[in-house]
């Protein structure tokens, strides 16, 4: 596993009864930015495969046989203790609700989406069996993601994360896993309906945050995310934070602006958000889109028509070697994403790959490359990934069904 950076993870930690909740306090733990890949093109492809998975265009067998899925991974992971053993688990907010998916299946729809799930599981690298505090439920678990899949057995055990503890958390012990090189599994932060039909002997299983809320450890189901870009050629900046049960005002400037999570359309099954427009300088690239805000995707993916206009306006092409948008001269205008009436801009220095990292990514000097890429022409074709979130503080508010943004500091 190649460690690109060490970040800090802050989470709400408090002792409270289910009846009397208290405001969460914040503690700091390490959060690691993991990169495992053979080429930058595999990172680009991974995000596009995630989009294909959302749109039901990728089968599990295709994912398992793809080198770019099974060998390449760029994501943020957190140390999660299960029964006394600490695992490095992916922090992933890719999806919100599976209810629409299963309703479509019940209606016999041929356009049902194979969506992601919010189970907590371990064992992608080494065996993850119940400890002395664990207890088998006799159930089997199976989940397919946009960047891999796993199957195994379910048990319950004590789980601690960021100073918060759940004594009987559902855990998936993987007996088979693909697409998770360099990480041990996933910690699920979504609501309980994300676990529907993933465990054989239960309709749903409470997620980690569900249990924290029901036992009174957090007063609201809110996840605050602060990702920060690496500085120059650094690979070990400690500069990020995750907050459970609230937000950390020291990680953003100004006020948080909230936008309703989508309730209809393909993107509504995830942390979906309506997008008023994409812009490059004074040029409108597209209007009236919808997409997903996702901590588990590295790049920013926009509709094909918007991507092509971006290339035309900025004087770029798609590099066949890296898969990135490539420019012979550095773009000079800001890239903007407008939610509601608020436009969030990225300067060229924010949306271009830092030249100090070219050697690491195997890019050609004298060229310029963007983190903005082609998301496709149909279905869900927009993902607001890590390279946007490294510049803006994000809040995933399950309680109020909304997503918030503010300028990161």
Residues serving a catalytic function are 92, 294
Nearest to 372 by CA among 399, 333, 342: 333
Q: What whole-number distance in Å separates Cα of residue 39 and Cα of residue 28?
A: 33
Query: CA torsion 73→76→79→83, rounded to 10°?
Result: -60
Please name the residue that has the structure tokens 């060998």.
71
Q: What whole-number distance in Å separates Cα of residue 24 and Cα of residue 219?
A: 7
Sequence-distant (6+) residues with CB within 8 A of 146 are: 49, 50, 51, 52, 53, 54, 58, 94, 116, 296
Q: Which two tokens stand for residue 216?
A: 């009174």
The dihedrals phi and psi of 355, each to the nearest 5 degrees, come to: -60, -30
Question: Could you write out the DSSP letters of every residue in 357-394?
Answer: GHHHHTPPTT-EEESEEE--SSSS--EE-HHHHTTEEE
């Amino acid at each position: 596993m190649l460690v690109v950076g060490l970040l800090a993870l802050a989470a709400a930690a408090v002792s409270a009864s289910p009846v009397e909740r208290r405001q969460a306090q914040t503690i700091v733990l390490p959060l690691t930015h993991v990169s495992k890949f053979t080429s930058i093109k595999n990172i680009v492809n991974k995000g596009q495969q995630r989009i294909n998975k959302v749109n039901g265009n990728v089968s599990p067998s295709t994912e398992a046989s793809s080198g770019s899925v099974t060998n390449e991974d760029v994501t943020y992971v957190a140390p999660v203790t299960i029964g006394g053993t600490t695992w490095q688990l992916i922090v992933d907010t890719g999806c919100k609700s599976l209810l629409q998916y299963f309703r479509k299946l019940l209606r016999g729809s041929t356009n049902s989406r194979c969506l992601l799930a919010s189970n907590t599981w371990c064992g992608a690298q080494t065996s993850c069996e119940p400890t002395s505090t664990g207890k088998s439920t006799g159930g089997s678990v199976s989940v397919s993601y946009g960047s891999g899949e796993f199957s195994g057995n379910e048990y319950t055990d004590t789980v601690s994360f960021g100073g918060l503890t759940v004594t009987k958390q559902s855990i998936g012990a993987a007996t088979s896993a693909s697409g998770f090189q360099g990480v041990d599994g996933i910690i699920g932060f979504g609501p309980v309906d994300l676990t529907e039909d993933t465990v054989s002997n239960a309709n749903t299983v409470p997620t980690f945050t569900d249990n924290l809320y029901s036992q009174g450890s957090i007063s609201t189901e809110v996840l605050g995310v602060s990702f920060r870009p690496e500085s120059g050629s650094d690979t070990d900046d400690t500069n990020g934070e995750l907050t459970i049960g609230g937000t950390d005002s020291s990680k953003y400037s100004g006020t948080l602006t909230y936008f309703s999570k989508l309730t209809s359309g393909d993107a509504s099954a995830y942390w979906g958000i309506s997008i008023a427009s994409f812009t490059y300088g004074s040029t409108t690239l597209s209007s009236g889109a919808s997409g997903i805000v996702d901590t588990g995707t590295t790049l920013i993916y926009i509709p094909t028509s918007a991507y092509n206009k971006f290339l035309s306006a900025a004087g770029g092409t798609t590099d066949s070697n890296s898969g990135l948008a490539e420019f012979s001269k550095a773009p000079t205008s800001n890239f903007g994403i407008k939610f509601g009436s608020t436009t969030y801009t990225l300067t060229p220095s924010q949306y271009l790959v830092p030249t100090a990292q070219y050697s690491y990514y195997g890019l050609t000097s004298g060229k310029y490359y963007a983190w903005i890429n082609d998301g496709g022409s149909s279905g869900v074709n927009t993902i607001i990934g890590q390279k946007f979130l490294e510049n803006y503080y994000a809040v995933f508010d399950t309680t109020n069904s909304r997503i918030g943004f503010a300028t990161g500091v």
